Chains A and B, each alone.
Chain A
C-alpha cells in the first residue's frame, strides 16, 4: 500500500498508468479503519493487477476535495488519471469493495 500525500498524489495516481485504487481515510473515521485490514488483504490478492494506495485526508484535505471526495469512507478506482468508479459511505463494505476491484482486474 503506497501512502499518498499532497506531494505524490499527482505522480502516483493522476499520472500513473494502469489501474490505481485509492483508499481515502482519516484517523477519526472508524468505518475506514475497520475496512483497512481487509483492503490490505485484497492487495495481497489483486496487487499484481491494481496499484493499491491510501490517502489520509487530514494531511491532504484539499487534494481530497479536488477529487470530489467530501465524505468517508471512499474506495475509488482510477484509470489513466481519472476516477472512474467508487464505493462511498455505508455502501463501502468488504463485499462491495471486492466486487469493485474484480470489475477492473
Chain B
C-alpha cells in the first residue's frame, strides 16, 4: 500500500503529526519500534504543557494523543525501520517486519538519554545505574541515591526520588544548576536533597550490584571513592545529562548538524517530501509543546507537498 504519510516515531511529535495528517484525510501510518509515547512516558509530572489537565503525567498526555490521532483515522504499527531509500519520488522504508511506501515521510525519531560513558556504567545498568526514575524509584526506598545532571530533568527527577530514597544527592559538573529558577527554589527547599558541585563520576564499581563509585572534583582534580552504606549494600545512580538524537539511520542522506536534523521553519529537510519533527532536529527548546508544534507543521506541509506533486 502507498501511504500519503509515514511517520517514524510515536512520541508527542509523531502523534501530533499523525493527528493533523489524519484529520486532513491523508492515509497516515505511524511506526514505533518501542513503547508508544517516547521519552515523556517516563515523566511523572508534566506541569508546563499548556491546557493539560491538573496533575497530568507523561503517560496520561500520551494516551490522549494516541486517542486523538487514532480517532481521526491514523494507523499505528510496531516495527523497527532498518533502512530508507529517499532517492525516488516514492519513499521506501524497510522495516524488520515489513516494507513501507510513502508519498511523504515525517521523521519523529526523537532522542535517547545520554550515558556517562565511564567504566562500569553498562555492566551496572539495571543493577543500580538507571536512566528512568519512574521505572526504578521504588527499588530505592530508604536507600541512598545520586542524580547526575543539573538541568530541569535532573532536578525534577531528583525531587521525585526524594519521595522514595533516604537521601538524594545531585552530582553536577558545574557550581550552579541550569534548571529553571522555580524548580531550583523547590530543590533548595527540599531537606532530603543534597548537592555535590563541580563533580563528575569517573567509574562505577560493583560485582552484581552497584557498590561504589569514583568521583572527581573538576576544580581541585581530587578523586575519591564513595561506598554504599554497609547496611544497604548498594545505592542508586540516576543519570539525566541530556540526550542523543536518534538519527543514525539517516546519516549521509539527510543534512544534519552534530547528529541533529537540519530543517527550515516548515520542518522540511534537504529532501523534498521528507520532514523532521521533535527532539531530533536543530532547535532551541526541546519540550512536549515544541514537539507537538513541529508535528503539526510537518503534517500540514506534507499535505501541501502531496497537493503540489503528482505521484504515479
Name A's B-contacting residues (CB within 8 A): 26, 28-35, 57-58, 61, 64-65, 68-74, 88-90, 93-95
Contact = CB atoms under 8 A, between A and B. Distances in A.
B35 interface: yes
A74 B234 CA distance: 18
Contacts of B273: none
Given A70-B130, A71-B130, A88-B127, 10 more contacts: A28-B135, A30-B35, A30-B58, A31-B132, A65-B209, A69-B139, A70-B139, A70-B236, A71-B136, A88-B126
Interface of B: 33-37, 41-42, 44, 58-59, 78, 80, 96, 112, 125-132, 134-139, 141, 208-210, 234, 236
B6 to A, nearest CB: 20
A19 to B, nearest CB: 21
A74 B213 CA distance: 23
A74 B135 contact: no
Contact of B131 (A28, A32, A89): A89
A93 B127 CA distance: 18
A71 B123 CA distance: 12
A23 to B, nearest CB: 14
Contact of A88 (B80, B125, B137, B139): B125
A33 B41 CA distance: 11
Contacts of B130: 70-71, 89
Nearest to A28: B134
A19 B131 CA distance: 30
A32 to B, nearest CB: 7
